[in-house]
Amino acid sequence: MERVPVLKIGDILLVSIQIDMEDQVALQLQEDLADRIVATGCHGVVIDISALDIVDSFVGRTLATIAAISKVLDADTVVVGMRPAVAITLVELGLSLPGIRTALNVELGMELLARERADYDDEEEDADGEDGAETPAVFTS
Protein backbone atom coordinates (compact mmCIF):
# COMPACT_ATOMS: atom_id res chain seq x y z
CA MET A 1 0.00 0.00 0.00
CA GLU A 2 1.24 3.48 -0.84
CA ARG A 3 1.72 6.04 1.90
CA VAL A 4 1.43 9.80 1.84
CA PRO A 5 4.59 11.42 3.25
CA VAL A 6 4.34 13.89 6.15
CA LEU A 7 7.07 16.56 6.19
CA LYS A 8 8.01 18.73 9.18
CA ILE A 9 8.84 22.36 8.46
CA GLY A 10 9.48 24.32 11.64
CA ASP A 11 6.29 24.19 13.70
CA ILE A 12 4.19 22.87 10.81
CA LEU A 13 3.54 19.45 9.32
CA LEU A 14 3.13 19.57 5.55
CA VAL A 15 1.26 16.91 3.62
CA SER A 16 1.02 17.05 -0.15
CA ILE A 17 -1.31 14.42 -1.56
CA GLN A 18 0.06 13.48 -4.96
CA ILE A 19 -1.72 10.20 -5.62
CA ASP A 20 -5.28 9.01 -6.22
CA MET A 21 -5.70 7.53 -2.73
CA GLU A 22 -7.54 4.33 -2.05
CA ASP A 23 -9.66 4.60 1.09
CA GLN A 24 -7.13 2.68 3.21
CA VAL A 25 -4.36 5.13 2.26
CA ALA A 26 -6.53 8.04 3.42
CA LEU A 27 -7.20 6.31 6.75
CA GLN A 28 -3.49 5.56 7.16
CA LEU A 29 -2.70 9.25 6.59
CA GLN A 30 -5.16 10.13 9.37
CA GLU A 31 -3.26 7.86 11.79
CA ASP A 32 0.20 8.94 10.61
CA LEU A 33 -0.68 12.61 11.11
CA ALA A 34 -2.02 12.07 14.63
CA ASP A 35 1.18 10.21 15.53
CA ARG A 36 3.43 12.88 14.02
CA ILE A 37 1.57 15.75 15.74
CA VAL A 38 2.14 14.10 19.11
CA ALA A 39 5.74 13.07 18.32
CA THR A 40 6.80 16.51 17.04
CA GLY A 41 4.56 18.84 19.08
CA CYS A 42 3.80 20.78 15.90
CA HIS A 43 0.92 23.25 16.16
CA GLY A 44 -0.10 23.37 12.52
CA VAL A 45 -0.95 21.00 9.67
CA VAL A 46 -1.09 22.06 6.02
CA ILE A 47 -2.69 19.60 3.61
CA ASP A 48 -2.05 20.39 -0.04
CA ILE A 49 -4.68 18.90 -2.35
CA SER A 50 -3.73 20.81 -5.51
CA ALA A 51 -2.85 17.54 -7.25
CA LEU A 52 -6.25 15.96 -6.55
CA ASP A 53 -8.65 16.12 -9.48
CA ILE A 54 -11.55 14.97 -7.32
CA VAL A 55 -12.50 15.00 -3.65
CA ASP A 56 -15.37 12.64 -2.95
CA SER A 57 -17.35 12.31 0.28
CA PHE A 58 -14.88 9.80 1.72
CA VAL A 59 -11.84 12.02 1.23
CA GLY A 60 -13.89 15.03 2.37
CA ARG A 61 -14.85 13.24 5.54
CA THR A 62 -11.23 12.17 6.10
CA LEU A 63 -10.06 15.79 5.81
CA ALA A 64 -12.72 16.87 8.31
CA THR A 65 -11.71 14.09 10.70
CA ILE A 66 -8.03 15.01 10.41
CA ALA A 67 -8.91 18.64 11.25
CA ALA A 68 -10.92 17.51 14.29
CA ILE A 69 -8.21 15.13 15.55
CA SER A 70 -5.53 17.81 15.09
CA LYS A 71 -7.63 20.28 17.06
CA VAL A 72 -7.86 17.87 19.98
CA LEU A 73 -4.07 17.48 19.78
CA ASP A 74 -3.57 21.29 19.89
CA ALA A 75 -2.81 21.72 16.19
CA ASP A 76 -4.72 23.70 13.54
CA THR A 77 -5.31 22.28 10.07
CA VAL A 78 -5.51 24.21 6.82
CA VAL A 79 -6.46 22.52 3.55
CA VAL A 80 -4.85 24.32 0.61
CA GLY A 81 -4.83 24.28 -3.17
CA MET A 82 -8.33 23.02 -3.94
CA ARG A 83 -9.03 23.24 -7.67
CA PRO A 84 -12.06 25.32 -8.73
CA ALA A 85 -13.81 22.35 -10.39
CA VAL A 86 -13.33 20.34 -7.19
CA ALA A 87 -14.87 23.12 -5.09
CA ILE A 88 -17.90 23.34 -7.42
CA THR A 89 -18.38 19.57 -7.36
CA LEU A 90 -17.98 19.28 -3.58
CA VAL A 91 -20.65 21.88 -2.89
CA GLU A 92 -23.05 20.27 -5.39
CA LEU A 93 -22.36 16.89 -3.79
CA GLY A 94 -23.57 18.45 -0.54
CA LEU A 95 -20.23 18.65 1.21
CA SER A 96 -19.22 22.16 2.23
CA LEU A 97 -16.50 20.94 4.63
CA PRO A 98 -17.64 22.78 7.75
CA GLY A 99 -14.90 23.12 10.34
CA ILE A 100 -12.12 23.02 7.78
CA ARG A 101 -9.92 26.08 7.27
CA THR A 102 -8.81 26.61 3.69
CA ALA A 103 -6.27 28.75 1.87
CA LEU A 104 -5.49 29.05 -1.82
CA ASN A 105 -1.94 27.71 -1.65
CA VAL A 106 0.72 26.34 0.70
CA GLU A 107 2.33 29.73 1.29
CA LEU A 108 -0.94 31.41 2.29
CA GLY A 109 -1.85 28.40 4.42
CA MET A 110 1.42 28.63 6.35
CA GLU A 111 0.95 32.39 6.81
CA LEU A 112 -2.57 31.79 8.13
CA LEU A 113 -1.30 29.27 10.69
CA ALA A 114 1.56 31.52 11.78
CA ARG A 115 -0.81 34.47 12.22
CA GLU A 116 -3.32 32.44 14.22
CA ARG A 117 -0.60 31.04 16.44
CA ALA A 118 0.73 34.53 17.11
CA ASP A 119 -2.79 35.77 18.04
CA TYR A 120 -3.26 32.75 20.27
CA ASP A 121 0.06 33.33 22.09
CA ASP A 122 -0.84 37.02 22.59
CA GLU A 123 -4.18 36.06 24.12
CA GLU A 124 -2.47 33.62 26.44
CA GLU A 125 -0.11 36.36 27.64
CA ASP A 126 -2.98 38.84 28.04
CA ALA A 127 -4.96 36.30 30.01
CA ASP A 128 -1.98 35.66 32.31
CA GLY A 129 -1.50 39.39 32.78
CA GLU A 130 -5.14 39.98 33.71
CA ASP A 131 -5.11 37.12 36.18
CA GLY A 132 -2.04 38.57 37.83
CA ALA A 133 -3.67 42.01 38.13
CA GLU A 134 -7.05 40.81 39.29
CA THR A 135 -6.03 38.27 41.88
CA PRO A 136 -4.84 40.76 44.53
CA ALA A 137 -7.93 42.90 43.91
CA VAL A 138 -10.17 39.94 44.70
CA PHE A 139 -8.34 39.23 47.92
CA THR A 140 -8.24 42.83 49.16
CA SER A 141 -11.96 43.50 48.58
Could you tell me the smallest distance in angstroms from the CB atom of residue 28 to other proteins?
11
Decide whether 31 or 107 has the Cβ nearer to other proteins.
31
Decide whether 4 or 114 has the Cβ nearer to other proteins.
4
Could you tell me the smallest distance in angstroms from the CB atom of residue 54 to other proteins?
5
Binding region for other proteins (CB under 8 A)? 20-24, 53-58, 60-61, 83-86, 88-89, 92-95
CA of 24: how far to CAs of 59, 74, 134, in Å? 11, 25, 52
Could you tell me the smallest distance in angstroms from the CB atom of residue 136 to other proteins?
53
Decide whether 20 or 122 has the Cβ nearer to other proteins.
20
* HEC secondary structure over 47-90: EECCCCCCCCHHHHHHHHHHHHHHHHCCCEEEEECCCHHHHHHH
Using an 8 Å Cβ cutoff, are 83 and 50 in contact? yes
